[in-house]
Amino acid sequence: MTEEIADWTKGAEAIVYQGCKTCGARQYFRRSFCAACGSTELTENRASGAGKVYATSLVCRAATPETRAHVPYNIVLVDTAEGFRMMAHGDNDLAIGDEVNARFTQFAGRLVPYFAKAK
Amino acid sequence: MSFVTGVGLTSYGKHGGSSSLDLMSRAAELAIADAGLKRSEIDGVLCGYSTVSPHIMLATVFAEHFGIRPSYAHAVQVGGATGLAMTMLAHHLVDAGIAKHVLIVGGENRLTGQSRDASIQALAQVGHPDYEVTLGPTIPAYYGLVASRYMHEYGVTQEDLAEFAVLMRKHALSHPGAQFHEPITVADVMASKPVAMPLKLLDCCPVSDGGAAFVISREATSERRVRVRGCAQAHTHQHVTAAPALSDLGAEISIAKAKQASGLSISDVCYAAVYDSFTITLAMLLEDLGLAKRGEAAARVRAGYFNQDGEMPLNTHGGLLSYGHCGVGGAMAHLVETHLQMTGRAENRQVRDASIALLHGDGGVLSSHVSMFLERV
């Protein structure tokens, strides 16, 4: 397996996915093997940040003091240009089908990916 | 062969001062008495979990507390599908001769035993710890995402979803044990506080205290003969990020397998008990199960199809949305109500015919599914 690239879950400004050298599958949740075929021959890749909105939900009721400070915040599922789906934050007015690009922002003390409409 | 020989259900709402074990015990006692059995005749115990009092061995904690020494006992955890998953397991256990009378029990003081924030946080943990939970979603947000997509693909509106909340409330009004007793309208649902759009407060089930139990036996113990005709599961993912397309969700897989296992089709069904954690859950599952055409479940609600006196009475106790949701016990109330309907004991809620019933449970974010047909013989 190639060396791990730090991504936003580790505090680095990057969205990372794995590609399988054996079957070509792509996966977003990091594992030491390919969930499609079991191969341990994986590549680590940086995603471009481009994608399309698949679903949205504007959270208006949060459950912790840290997250309540951000209410309302938009949770989005984005289908990335690289072909995997991810959860992130986004502009409150994003609609399904919007073409978006990622940047990063602080949320409840952590770095999170944030999508806005592509210009 | 297996029979649902006894059912027990507490009221849902506030049971201040009752622990999870208290509520489980109360429901268990009712179910065992309903089956006409003595505690000592229970040789199997399956229980769910309690977010208020987590324990790695809840079934034996319960058995000791309740005062029984079963020869088979453990907990089962499949989120909202736990009750039906336990029923399916008990069906196979008694059928295989492992146990004669399996007690299935769920109960939790989720409303008074912890803060609402604590419940919301505990449930949000069904999300991925690194890739989802860090973003601050809640269970309503996971389902809000699914709702937004479903509405987009099938032209369903927020007003459509509101119909399900109104229907469940209407049913709850005739059950004294339900958490809510005030009628609501579509306008009330639309005007209720936004939680995770498109879901508003009245699109969401409440947090409740309560307990439910049933006994699954190899032979019927009375003239009330309700048997498990066939059941099946499907598990396609855990996290909403990893969910398949809407057309490939697990409900369609589990119902297809359950139809095969039972030799029944949807046209045989005369009573439906379907998981309804949110209005969108109920809308989607009804359509996935084939109880309404895609995008048309709300129209069927408006037409009275799912009313007590309709063609397909649905969750006549008020469902999770209005009877209440105390965790594992929440969806077990659906089976209790189904049994009462099938045995002609639903009093003012009694439907014309409930001889064949379809039950469906969902855990996680449409992650785990159990479909089950019950039949009066």
Q: What tens digit of pLDDT does each residue of A46-72 get?
A: 999 999 999 999 999 998 999 999 999
* % chain B with pLDDT above 70: 100
| Overall size of chain A counted in residues | 119
Residue A3 lies in a domain: no
Is B152 within 8 Å of A96 when comparing Cβ atoms? yes
A62 shares a domain with A36: no
- A37 and A64 part of one domain: no
Give B-chain residues touching A112 at CB under 8 angstroms. Answer: 134-135
Q: Are residues A35 and A60 in the same domain?
A: no
Task: Tell me the pairing of strands A42-46 and A73-80.
Answer: unpaired
Torsion angle (degrees, nearest 10) of CA B263, B268, B270, B274? 50
Look at residue A79 and tell me if it is in a domain.
yes
* Statement: residue B281 has pLDDT above 90: yes
Q: Which two tokens stand for residue B312?
A: 């397909």
Is A33 in a helix, a strand, or coil? Answer: coil
Give tens-digit pLDDT for A11-46. 999 999 999 999 999 999 999 999 999 999 999 999
Q: What are the C-alpha distances in Å from B117 to residues A61, B80, B114?
A: 10, 19, 8
Do both A24 and A78 map to the same domain?
A: no
Q: What's the pLDDT tens digit per position in B179-231?
A: 999 999 999 999 999 999 999 999 999 999 999 999 999 999 999 999 999 99
Does the pTM exceed 0.95? yes
- Cβ separation A57–B149 shorter than 8 A: no
Q: What mean pLDDT is reported for chain B?
A: 97
Q: What is the pLDDT of residue B92?
A: 98
pLDDT given for residue B124 in this prediction: 85
A73 touches chain B (CB under 8 A): yes
pLDDT of residue A119: 86
Task: Answer whether residue B307 shows pLDDT above 60.
Answer: yes
Is there a single domain that holds both residue A38 and residue A67? no
Whether a cis peptide bond, with omega within 30° of 0, leads into A65 is no
Find the closest chain B residue to A113 by CA distance.
Answer: B135
**How many folded domains does chain A comprise?**
2
Q: Where are the beta strands (DSSP E) in chain B?
A: 3-9, 44-47, 72-75, 101-109, 194-196, 199-200, 209-217, 226-235, 271-274, 356-363, 368-376
pLDDT in tens, B27-81: 999 999 999 999 999 999 999 999 999 999 999 999 999 999 999 999 999 999 9
Chain A nearest-CA distance from B206, in A, is 14
Q: How far is it, in rounded angstroms, from Cα B204 to Cα B201?
A: 5
| Same domain for A110 and A79 | yes
Contact between A110 and B147 using a beta-carbon 8 Å cutoff? no
Is B336:B212 a contact under the CB 8 Å cutoff? Answer: yes
The Cα of B312 is separated from the nearest Cα of chain A by a number of Å equal to 32
Q: Is residue A1 part of a domain?
A: no
**Residue A61, in any domain of the structure:** yes
ipTM: 0.97
pLDDT given at position B273: 98
Token couple for B50: 């309690």
Interchain contact, B197 vs A60, CB within 8 Å: yes
Q: Would an 8 Å CB–CB cutoff place A70 in contact with chain B?
A: yes
pLDDT grade, residue B23 (50/70/90)?
very high
- The residue segments making up the domain with residue A80 are 50-117
Mean predicted confidence (pLDDT) in B128-139: 96
The Cα-based distances of B99 to B28, B65, B89, B237 in angstroms read 17, 21, 11, 32
For β-strands A99-107 and A110-117, DSSP reports them as: antiparallel
Would an 8 Å CB–CB cutoff place B126 in contact with chain A?
Answer: no
Instruction: Answer whether B241 touches A (CB < 8 Å).
Output: yes
In this structure, the answer to whether residues A41 and A62 fall within a common structural domain is no
Do A113 and A56 belong together in one domain? yes
CB neighbour list of residue B60: distance below 8 Å, 6 or more residues apart: B73
